[in-house]
């Protein structure tokens, strides 16, 4: 038996199919992954994401510490609650983890992946030398992601006392009120919130959302939604051996100011100078079949790549994939599916955003 979140009883009550995910017992679906996926695209769905790790960074040197630790630059966060997405890199430019960091009132809040918790915390602690900071994990906080075009309205309905604060949030901003933290962020390509809640209050919140008509959703729908949105999954689309320049994360690297020294910078600059060899693309299969991770991608006259994530898209009713391919790849490729090379189209990510198809 793995670790259980404060909502585990709610998942069992709703007949959730429980699987192991990064050492946690989590629901993969509650009966129909496709119905859950569609609920997020068309209305509102909710996910238990309490397995994610929340780490607060405080102290006089918190900004300088994070400027060294992360490839993106927290100095860009000019307003209270504003957030950014960043890679935390190793010395050779590989991605230890991808995370979100919020600027709080004199400190910062980080949300990192559950499967990388131990190595993340170890890495963060190992680089505190010379900085006057504190790192505080917040295991007493649970988290619910409420996603979809009706998600924000649903949250305002069950928390009317926070309605004005929620209304005030810009995209990628999070603010606290009465011990709850509301972040206008997500992993689905839809608008919505990720709400951090004291564990003793989270079951009541979940029940209120359920009674308001929000659909409980499992890991299966979360994966198809994020893939349609062209969002990376750590361990699939990037890891410690993959540069952010090759994983569609180049936009998260803050090269300026040029004097800022961050872990992995030298390796990334050397990679750029030598010429980046691989890039991340989307693949679309117009025929039958489903593309899957680790299938070989063949680009005639150019070279080979690999699918890093693949699925059948419920929104598009066809197979889609994220792949890492040679930089010279144009708009066509072939995928090795059970020994047969199948034609696919190469597109720029994402496939779907705010419920709308993003390619022709």
- 222 in the same domain as 73: yes
How many separate domains does the chain show? 2
- 326 in the same domain as 230: no
pLDDT (0 to 100) of residue 166: 98
- 114 in the same domain as 43: yes
The answer to whether the bond into 265 is cis (omega within 30° of 0) is no
- 12 in the same domain as 159: yes
Give the global pTM.
Answer: 0.97
- 139 in the same domain as 204: yes
- 145 in the same domain as 105: yes
- 158 in the same domain as 185: yes
pLDDT (0 to 100) of residue 2: 87
What is the DSSP code (8-state) at residue 99? E
∠ CA 151-110-281, nearest 5°, is 70
- 270 in the same domain as 184: yes
As given in the structure block, the two tokens for residue 110 are 């980080």
In this structure, what CATH number is given to the domain that contains residue 128? 3.30.1360.120
Domain boundary among 241, 274, 307: 274
- 82 in the same domain as 47: yes
What Rg value do the Cα atoms of the chain yield, rounded?
A: 20
Encode pLDDT of 194-235 as tens digits.
Answer: 999 999 999 999 999 999 999 999 999 999 999 999 999 999
Domain that holds residue 59: 1-274
Torsion, Cα of 184, 206, 15, 138 (10° steps)? 70
Domain boundary among 247, 274, 301: 274
Yes or no: say if 84 and 74 are a contact pair by the CB < 8 Å rule: yes
The answer to whether the bond into 350 is cis (omega within 30° of 0) is yes
- 87 in the same domain as 73: yes
pLDDT (0 to 100) of residue 212: 98
- 298 in the same domain as 261: no
- 75 in the same domain as 212: yes
Low-confidence residues in the chain, pLDDT < 70 = none
Domain boundary among 233, 252, 274: 274
pLDDT (0 to 100) of residue 161: 98
∠ CA 353-101-76, nearest 5°, is 90
pLDDT (0 to 100) of residue 115: 87
Give Cα 265 distance to the centre of its chain. Answer: 23
pLDDT (0 to 100) of residue 1: 80
């Amino acid at each position: 038996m793995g670790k259980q979140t404060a909502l585990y009883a709610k998942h069992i009550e709703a007949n959730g199919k429980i699987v192991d995910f990064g050492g946690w017992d989590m629901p993969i679906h509650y009966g129909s992954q496709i119905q859950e996926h569609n609920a997020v695209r068309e209305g509102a769905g909710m996910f238990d994401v309490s397995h994610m790790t929340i780490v607060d960074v405080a102290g006089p040197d918190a900004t300088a510490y994070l400027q060294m630790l992360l490839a993106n630059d927290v100095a860009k966060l000019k307003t209270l609650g504003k957030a950014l997405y960043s890679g935390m890199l190793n010395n050779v430019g590989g991605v230890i983890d991808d995370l979100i960091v919020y600027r709080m009132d004199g400190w910062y809040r980080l949300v990192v992946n559950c499967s990388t918790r131990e190595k993340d915390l170890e890495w963060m602690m190992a680089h505190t030398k010379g900085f006057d900071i504190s790192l505080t994990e917040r295991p007493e906080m649970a988290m619910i992601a409420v996603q979809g075009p009706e998600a924000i309205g649903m949250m305002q309905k069950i928390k009317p006392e926070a309605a004005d604060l929620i209304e005030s949030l810009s995209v990628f901003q999070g603010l606290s009120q009465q011990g709850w933290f509301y972040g206008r962020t997500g992993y689905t390509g839809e608008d919505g919130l990720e709400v951090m809640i004291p564990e003793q209050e989270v079951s009541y919140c979940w029940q209120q959302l359920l009674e308001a008509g929000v659909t409980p959703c499992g890991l299966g729908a979360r994966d198809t939604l994020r893939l349609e949105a062209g969002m990376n999954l750590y361990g699939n689309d990037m890891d410690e051996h993959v540069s952010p320049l090759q994983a569609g994360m180049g936009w998260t690297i803050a090269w300026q100011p040029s004097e800022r020294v961050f872990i992995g910078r030298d390796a990334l600059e050397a990679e750029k100078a030598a010429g980046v060899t691989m890039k991340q693309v989307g693949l679309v299969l117009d025929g039958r079949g489903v593309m899957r991770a680790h299938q070989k991608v063949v680009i005639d006259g150019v070279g080979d790549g690999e699918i890093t994530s693949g699925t059948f898209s419920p929104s598009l009713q066809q197979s889609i994939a994220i792949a890492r391919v040679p930089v010279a790849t144009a708009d066509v490729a072939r995928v090795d599916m059970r020994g047969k090379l199948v034609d696919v189209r190469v597109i720029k990510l994402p496939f779907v955003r705010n419920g709308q198809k993003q390619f022709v």
